[in-house]
């Protein structure tokens, strides 16, 4: 069972809720998939059943086509947020981490062709490996959070929150005007360019803020 835990291995006493995600929040990533840059955030939700710990390795769906990694900055909501303003957004967040927005890319492409929702491609069990939480006060600059992903020793993704089309405070405010964000909910903030397929046995290393490392593997 997944439980929110910080990098000191202490439990964070908040219940895991929904995971609210944004698509195409980095222009370079929208481009690499041949998508237009949206004029408002594209939101979708992964249920709590999608979340697994990143730390011990995770399984990917078999025989369902390509499974892509999307490394993303994750935020832990610590105080309920409904219809909040961007200037107050960080006061509703206690911790930052990395998550993988695992995506069945071939399945998603077919859904997109038919203009169908993406849940089947993004909300399956295990679709959200999530790292341990770093307190936001331990992040060097909340306005410029760096994220990297290495696969089998090779850097695949690199970006930072200054490249986001909708910056974190505005994104949280926007989400809170559609869904009430509950303490224990998680926000995924979109992926930088460099997404690609995962195979069984791949070794992964995600880095946050250039200083926190999250090793994992596909088991
Ligand atoms: Zn994503």
For the chain, the straight-line distance linking the first and the last C-alpha, in angstroms and rounded, comes to 17
pTM: 0.97
Neighbours of ion ligand 1 (CB under 5 A): 70, 101, 191
Q: What's the gap in Å between 12 CA and the centre of ligand 1?
A: 25
Q: What is the pLDDT of residues 9-65, one digit of tens each?
A: 999 999 999 999 999 999 998 888 888 888 899 999 999 999 999 998 999 999 999
Q: What's the gap in Å between 191 CA and the centre of ligand 1?
A: 5
Q: What's the gap in Å between 23 CA and the centre of ligand 1?
A: 5
Q: What's the gap in Å between 25 CA and the centre of ligand 1?
A: 8
Q: What's the gap in Å between 70 CA and the centre of ligand 1?
A: 5
DSSP string, 47-88: -GGGEEESTT-B---SSSS-EEE-EEEEEEE-S-BSS--GGG
Q: What is the reported pLDDT for 109?
A: 95
Q: What average pLDDT does range 165-183 have in this prediction?
A: 98
Alpha helix segments (H runs only) across the chain: 27-32, 105-113, 119-122, 168-176
Q: What's the gap in Å between 11 CA and the centre of ligand 1?
A: 26
Q: What is the reported pLDDT for 30?
A: 85
Q: What is the reported pLDDT for 193?
A: 95
Q: What is the pLDDT of residues 115-139, one digit of tens each?
A: 999 999 999 999 999 999 999 999 9
Instruction: Please give the domain boundaries of the chain with CATH numbers for all domains.
Output: 19-217 (3.90.850.10)
Q: List, as own/partner pairs, every contact residues 12-15 make where C-beta atoms lie below 8 angstroms and the sequence separation is at least 24, other chains included.
A: 12/76, 12/94, 12/95, 12/133, 14/76, 14/78, 14/183, 14/184, 15/183, 15/184
């Amino acid at each position: 069972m997944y439980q929110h835990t910080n990098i000191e291995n202490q439990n964070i006493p908040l219940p895991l809720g929904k995971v609210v995600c944004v698509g195409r929040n980095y222009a370079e990533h929208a481009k690499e998939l041949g998508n237009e840059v949206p004029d408002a955030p594209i939101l979708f939700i992964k249920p709590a059943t999608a979340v697994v710990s990143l730390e011990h390795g995770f399984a990917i769906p078999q025989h369902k086509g390509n499974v892509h990694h999307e490394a993303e900055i994750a935020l832990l909501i610590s105080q309920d947020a409904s219809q909040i303003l961007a200037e107050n957004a960080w006061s509703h967040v206690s911790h930052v981490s990395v998550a993988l927005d695992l995506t069945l890319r071939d399945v998603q492409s077919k859904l997109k062709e038919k203009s169908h929702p993406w849940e089947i491609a993004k909300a399956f069990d295990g679709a959200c490996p999530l790292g341990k939480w770093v307190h936001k006060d331990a992040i060097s600059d909340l306005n410029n959070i760096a994220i990297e992903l290495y696969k089998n020793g090779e850097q695949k993704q690199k970006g930072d929150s200054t490249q986001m089309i909708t910056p974190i405070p505005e994104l949280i405010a926007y989400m809170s005007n559609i869904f009430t964000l509950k303490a224990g909910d998680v926000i995924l903030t979109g992926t930088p360019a460099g997404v690609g397929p995962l195979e069984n046995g791949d070794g992964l290393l995600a880095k946050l803020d250039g200083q926190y490392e999250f090793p994992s593997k596909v088991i």
